[in-house]
Amino acid sequence: MTLTRRAFSAAAAAALAATPALAAGARRPIVIAHRGASGERPEHTPMAYRLAIEEGCDFIEPDLVLTKDGHLVVRHENEIGGTTDVAARPEFAARRTSKVVDGEQVEGWFAEDFTLAELKTLRARERLPELRPASAAFDGREAIATFQEVVDLAKAETKRVGRTIGVYPEMKHPSFLASLGLVIEPRLADALKANGLDSRTAPVFVQCFETAPLKTFAKLSRARRVRLVAGDAKDLVTAAGLKDIATYADGVGPDWSLVVPTLDGALGPPTSLVADAHAVGLAVHPWTVRAENRFLPETLRSGTAPAAHGDVGAVYRALFAAGVDGLFSDFPGLAVKARG
């Protein structure tokens, strides 16, 4: 079940009234399914996206890398050994290699060394099986998805559930890929245009940790852009840093601890990040809230087992109270419940 480009645009426009607002200062924050419902199903699989939609998310997030033959595929990293069965495939044993990706030495198998046809023979698996054994039970059931397949899924689900399901793609390692002759920005821009998503009001945000690719993308597409910010890059989320981001992006995606920091093992008061971002017209979509003890402040943990779920609701509520316009979660159903 798919919609044509025109039909999808019409369906999205008709459903926007029932969808949380997408701009800075929105009254109802959006819930972005981080790699799908990735706390419950292997990340970036169709089953993870469908479960997230069933749980009420507003956007699904596909991280994008490129194949050897230039296709956009959905993986969190270009190294695929941790999320597929490639290590168990003898025909690809010789593809194992070591590369320097964004200044870090990485060993394994890389999407850009495979054609799309070759990648489609692999099967996805859980990245964190020790923390998420229930998700790991679904290993091997689905193949690596292309970006087009994820867009088609969002179109079909928009029609099925009667509300707009947006897509929130991230350009992964664009400078590294460009050094190999694989340039992601025009390919993504073309894909958005082909699917009726090249506008300021389309249900799409394009995110990246790098500034230059976002500036390049702005020349190729009218889709909204979000600058991601790691927790150690606090200079980017000062008032001056946010003012600069506003010159090339529509939103900022900070590590959630930059919005609500942890102090002495507990959640502290919010910083001025949201107010400062809104002052220059930026939406704020922090990442990534996870339910397991390993990812929570000490006072919110339940017991000592790293995989046990703690009081993640306290994190959601603190972020919503701080005025964020949306947030990323591996457990979108819990985020929807906390949003109320």
The string of pLDDT tens digits covering residues 193-244 is 999 999 999 999 999 999 999 999 999 999 999 999 999 999 999 999 999 9
Residue 78: C-alpha distances to residues 84, 113, 212 (Å): 12, 9, 19
What gap in Å lies between CA 112 and CA 123, rounded to an integer? Answer: 17
Given this model, what pLDDT does residue 141 score? Answer: 98
Given this model, what pLDDT does residue 21 score? Answer: 44
Exactly one of 71, 76, 173, 285 is catalytic; name it.
76
- If one counts every other C-beta atom within 10 angstroms of the C-beta of residue 132, the result is 22
Catalytic status, residue 76: yes
Tally the residues of the chain: 340
pLDDT confidence of 337, banded at 50, 70, 90?
Answer: very high
HSE (CB half, 13 Å, CA atoms) of 247? 7
Residues 164, 154 contacting (CB under 8 angstroms) = no
What gap in Å lies between CA 200 and CA 221, rounded to an integer? Answer: 9
pLDDT confidence of 3, banded at 50, 70, 90?
Answer: very low
Given this model, what pLDDT does residue 122 score? Answer: 98
Exactly one of 34, 44, 71, 173 is catalytic; name it.
34
Amino acid at 31: V
Given this model, what pLDDT does residue 228 score? Answer: 98
* Domain chopping of the chain, boundaries: 5-77+144-339
Given this model, what pLDDT does residue 6 score? Answer: 45
Strand 97-101 to 104-108 pairing: antiparallel
Among 11-15, 67-71, 154-158, 207-211, name the one with the lowest average pLDDT.
11-15
The string of pLDDT tens digits covering residues 286-333 is 999 999 999 999 999 999 999 999 999 999 999 999 999 999 999 999
Looking at domain 5-77+144-339, which CATH architecture does it have?
Alpha-Beta Barrel (3.20)
Residues 282, 24 contacting (CB under 8 angstroms) = yes
Amino acid at 62: P
Cut 0.95: pTM above it: no
Catalytic status, residue 173: no
